[in-house]
Amino acid sequence: MPVPGGGFNQAYNAQAAVDTSSMLVVSLTVTQACNDKEQVVPMLAQLAALPASLGQPKELLADTGFYSAKNVEACEACSIDPFIAVKRDEHHPAPQERFTEPAALPADATPAQVMAHKLKTKAGRALYALRKQTVEPVFGIIKSVLGFRQFSLRGLKKVSGEWTLVCLAWNLKRMAVLRPQ
């Protein structure tokens, strides 16, 4: 993968789909592509292949690296409501922006415009905010608490197995916390 300042580094892009209520990793993958935009459709296919007893996701929360009109349409084709950030938000928006609803959309709005509009609503902002307390902590805890900061193996197949074991360890740790007392 390209590195800042030029050149390349042997690296992998680890992905995980996390359930917002339990914080369990429900699907995962590793790729050598540095762009996250191409990872939504394969992850949707993995989620669709999960057993029906687990249920199917209703919403997809993702940061701006995953945004494309194609991904929004792919989510809708899978009956999943996408909440993918279109661009980076300002850190300190004006109060009127935080507490007001956006203007109505035109009737001929594209799916991407509809999704961007939903993200500006109070309900959309609240739902999207779950990403910060669901997916981000999982990756942070895996790195800081479990101490997994780099892959030990080489080769995509071996690294995929290693990432599966790391996510399994996370899920076991999380299930121990979730079990009824």
Specify the pTM.
0.85
Is residue 90 a contact partner of residue 107, using CB atoms and an 8 Å limit?
no
Instruction: Look at residue 123 and tell me if it is in a domain.
Output: yes
Instruction: Look at residue 4 and tell me if it is in a domain.
Output: no
Instruction: Look at residue 102 and tell me if it is in a domain.
Output: yes
Q: How many domains does the chain have?
A: 1
**DSSP letters for 124-156:** HHHHHHHHHHHHHHHHHHHHHTS---S-SS-SH
Instruction: Look at residue 75 and tell me if it is in a domain.
Output: yes
Q: What is the mean pLDDT of the chain?
A: 90
Instruction: Look at residue 33 and tell me if it is in a domain.
Output: yes
Instruction: Look at residue 180 and tell me if it is in a domain.
Output: no
**Weakest-pLDDT range from 15-24, 65-74, 94-103, 171-180:** 94-103
Instruction: Look at residue 61 and tell me if it is in a domain.
Output: yes
We report the CATH number of the domain holding residue 91 as: 3.30.420
Report residue 35's pLDDT band, with 50, 70 and 90 as the boundaries: confident
Domain that holds residue 142: 13-172
